[in-house]
Amino acid sequence: MLSKNSVPVFFVLVAFPLVINAACRQSFMTICDTFDDFKNYKNTQNVKELIIGSETGSAKSSVNLMETLKLEKFQLSTLIIIGSINQLEMTYHYECLYASSPLKYLSLYGNELKRIERYHFPLIPLKTFSLVNNKIESIQAEALKHNDAETLDLSDNFLQTIEYSSLPLTRTTKVIAIRNNKLTHIEPNSFPSSLLSLHLDNNNLWHLQDGVLGDLDKLQELTLSHNKFKEIPDVRHLKQLVIFDMSHNEIKFVEKWAFKQMENLQLVDLSNNVIASHFILKWLDVPNKQPTLTISLAFNRLRDLDLANLPLQNKTFILYGNPWNCSKWNELKSALRGHETKCDMAFLANERYPYCINYTPGVYRFEGLWENDIDKFHEAVQKNDNLAECGLAVAKYQVLNPVHFFCTFIKDTS
């Protein structure tokens, strides 16, 4: 017994001053390994920006956020908790204490939260509330309804459905991101009408029920890419839309009325779908008022485009990666001169980059053979992607910034 005890006592005596200082350290922010370390930190009252935990943190515990951190006492404006919590306890005693809290940025990253319930978080008027990269499977109805964060980020979780009133329905939330979850269903009126940006990419959505985009009259940016949509959901009433990203879905047709009333539209990204009809630009009927509108149809299955009677003023098209009919290409290229992007021109300047298929008459007795060749063509284009790096750099989250494109042409050094 004695000898067993004497070793740690000796160790503690020697290490004591070091332990206190090493537990929390002052860097660009105050960084503490655990909640207890923060409690023992001498300067807690003055800490403004705090990180608790680390990405490699393995000891996760059940935490009552408000009781542990006594937020009403501190001057915290930024709080980041990484890899430290596996469950949140109710905070309802404190729920209304925080209306004037200086906390503006709250992020619980890489914890193991599975379920978000009411009273898990106090009602703090946050600028950013991030629960990215947890294991959230469900958000209870009313759970976040009164949290008036400006930006709510629930990306990288396991959500399958969004129930009515589980998200903030205050009039302050401007951005909601639920990227990279497993969403298949969203109940109508789940999003607040104050929303400017909504990001639902990388989910399993194939349909949006009427009313899901219901009264989002102010919405400027909608991201539905990397889902399983076969048609464009009813976005008609989103008259303020500036950026619409529907890339990487299974879209074949576009309803003629879809964009008809969107006078502010600057970017429609329909790249990486299965559009094959040469009438596509006729269906993409948009008001001709905006200074510039960029339409990306890259990586679809287009062989030709019908441009007859089409107003092309102030429109730019991104068309690479389509299996254009070589016998139509020159005509098409001159008709679209001045409306192509730098990306397209870079591809055409590089003769090693495939841009059309020679559909030799007589060879294609069945349409299925075209389809096979189109798949091979897409593969060939993608294989040559290292020759030209081209894409849309959309200022996500910053809808008010102008849409811009980048195109770096990597010179062939051989």
Q: Which of 289/376 has CB closer to ligand NAG?
A: 289
Q: Which of 209/327 has CB closer to ligand NAG?
A: 327
DSSP 191-244: S-TT-SEEE--SS------TTSSTT-TT--EEE--SS--SS----TT-TT--EE
The SS3 of residue 185 is strand
CB of residue 313 vs ligand NAG: minimum separation in angstroms?
4
Task: Kindly state the DSSP code that residue 402 receives in the 8-state scheme.
Answer: P
DSSP 309-348: T---TTEEEE-TTS-EEHHHHHHHHHHTTTSB-HHHHHHH
Query: CA torsion, points 47, 67, 138, 205, in degrees to nearest 10?
Result: -20
CB of residue 278 vs ligand NAG: minimum separation in angstroms?
9
Q: Which of 18/308 has CB closer to ligand NAG?
A: 308
Q: Which of 52/293 has CB closer to ligand NAG?
A: 293
- Closest by CA position to 270, among listed 229, 302, 298: 298
Q: Which of 196/302 has CB closer to ligand NAG?
A: 302
Contact partners, residue 64, CB within 8 Å, separation at least 6: 88, 89, 90, 91
Query: CA torsion, points 107, 110, 111, 114, in degrees to nearest 10?
Result: 100
Phi first, then psi, for residue 161 (nearest 5°) are -135, 155
Phi first, then psi, for residue 245 (nearest 5°) are -110, 110
CB of residue 328 vs ligand NAG: minimum separation in angstroms?
5
CB of residue 317 vs ligand NAG: minimum separation in angstroms?
16
CB of residue 72 vs ligand NAG: minimum separation in angstroms?
53
Q: Which of 283/359 has CB closer to ligand NAG?
A: 359
CB of residue 329 vs ligand NAG: minimum separation in angstroms?
9
Could you list the residues that contact ligand NAG (CB under 6 A)?
288-289, 291, 303, 313-314, 325, 327-328, 359
CB of residue 178 vs ligand NAG: minimum separation in angstroms?
35
Q: Which of 380/410 has CB closer to ligand NAG?
A: 380
